[in-house]
Amino acid sequence: MAGIREPLLIVPGFQWLGRNVGIKDDTLDFAVAYADRPCAASAVFTRNNFPGAPVIVGREHVADGRLQAVVVNSKNANVATGFKGVEHARAVCRKVGKVLDIDPRLVLPGSTGVIGVELPIERLLNASSAIPSELGRHRAHLEAFARAILTTDTRPKAVSLRVGNATLTGVAKGAAMIEPNMATMLAYFFTDAAVEPAALATMLRQAVDKSFNRISVDTDTSTSDTVAILANGLAGPVDASAFSAALEEGCIYLAQEIVRDAEGASKFIELTVQGAPSAEAALRFAKSVINSPLVKTAIHGADPNWGRFVMALGKVFDHPFPLEGLQITFGTGTDALTISAQNQAAEILADIAVYLRENSDVHLGIHLGAGNYAERVWGCDLTAEYVRLNAEYTT
């Protein structure tokens, strides 16, 4: 086991808060995390060509591998707001730095919500004045932080693990605009392990690639994605391989929680593609299937239409393979159901329909018969509720 999974744990040397500042409604929409001393830090951001202002500023602030605070607002993404948006993100960092008596370049900003709307900067600056008196070290403060970063999520997402004497806790938000790299998501990890910034950056990128970069809700890459980790070193050094494995485990857990809480989703899908000619090909095949609206809707409707899988695999143009070797399996273990070009009996199709109808966790296996490589991804079904939520997002 990479680490010992625990209930949500506070991390020594950190404080948090979550409160409402009235950006959109009366729910929590302003969150701050603060470390008692500067931390080794790393972050991974969206690859969208139009990143939000907090991403632009965040890349600058984390470039030297040091952070001490995180400030996040929900309900407004501060994206497509031009020079003023960037200045607003900087202004929030300056204010937070001033009230906490730290260099503003040690503050990582984050915003999530509606794109193309100017940030209500005065609300954020006014709220920042009270940060020192509202920060706390209790679990309730951490839980408030986790709730304050949510948008259309139905619940907070959090995980804690122990690695030797150190604690690793992560919180995340995300429910739609989800397709790597990465998604309309924010994830923040806090640890008291002592890890150098360069090693932390390598570990985080590896963990993100195996987790947040392998989930799909709707194939849209957000402008605001951020995954960051702060390590204050209070627990001393830890085994590097164990910590890296624990970070990957925590990222995978939060990535799966995002998919389970996806907008309108009724089914969680785990898909493994095997028998590919390369790892790159295996991942491309897996993403082509997990991203397909036709596959997603078939699973939602319990329609055993294996032709939709054939279509999704066949549009990976650079990697043709013989259809005769293709096998698609629904379920696991001795009860698994397999369909192929040679086996499309009506009884199998009927059993697949029952499996899809009766299981909220759907396990799919695709064997291409074209090589020795395998990759795994996660996704969800596509429902009418997803369409309704996004059709009414700003109304």
CB 184 within 8 A of CB 75: no
Compute the distance between CA of residue 274 and CA of residue 268 in angstroms, rounded to an integer: 20
- Residue 304 has a CB neighbour count (10 Å cut-off) of 24
User: What is the rounded CA–CA span in Å between residue 40 and residue 237?
Assistant: 13
| C-alpha 22 chain-centroid distance | 26
**Range 82-86, long-range pairs (CB < 8 A, 24+ positions):** 84/118, 85/52, 85/53, 85/118, 85/119, 86/53, 86/56, 86/57
- Residue 372 and residue 276: Cα distance in Å, rounded? 6
| Active-site residue identified among 46, 81, 184, 226 | 184
Gap between the terminal Cα atoms of the chain? 46
- The set of residues, in sequence order, having a beta carbon less than 8 Å from that of 258 and lying 6+ positions away, is 157, 172, 173, 174, 175, 178, 183, 185, 212, 215, 217
Rounded CA-CA distance 283/181 in Å is: 13
Active site residue 184: yes
- Confirm if 52 and 102 have CB atoms less than 8 A apart: no
The residue to which tokens 């951020």 are assigned: 226
349-356 contacts at long range (C-beta below 8 A, 24 or more positions apart): 349/304, 349/306, 350/304, 352/304, 353/302, 353/303, 353/304, 354/302, 355/330, 355/331, 356/267, 356/299, 356/302, 356/303, 356/304, 356/330
Joined tokens for residue 394 = 């700003």
Q: Are 355 and 364 in contact (CB under 8 A)?
A: no
Helices (H) and strands (E) in the chain, counts: 12, 15
Query: Do residues 168 and 243 lie in contact, with contact meaning Cβ atoms separated by under 8 Å?
Result: yes
| Neighbour tally for 331: CB within 10 Å | 18
In whole angstroms, give the CA distance from residue 142 to residue 160. 12
Residue 39 is which amino acid? C
- Enumerate the active-site residues: 184
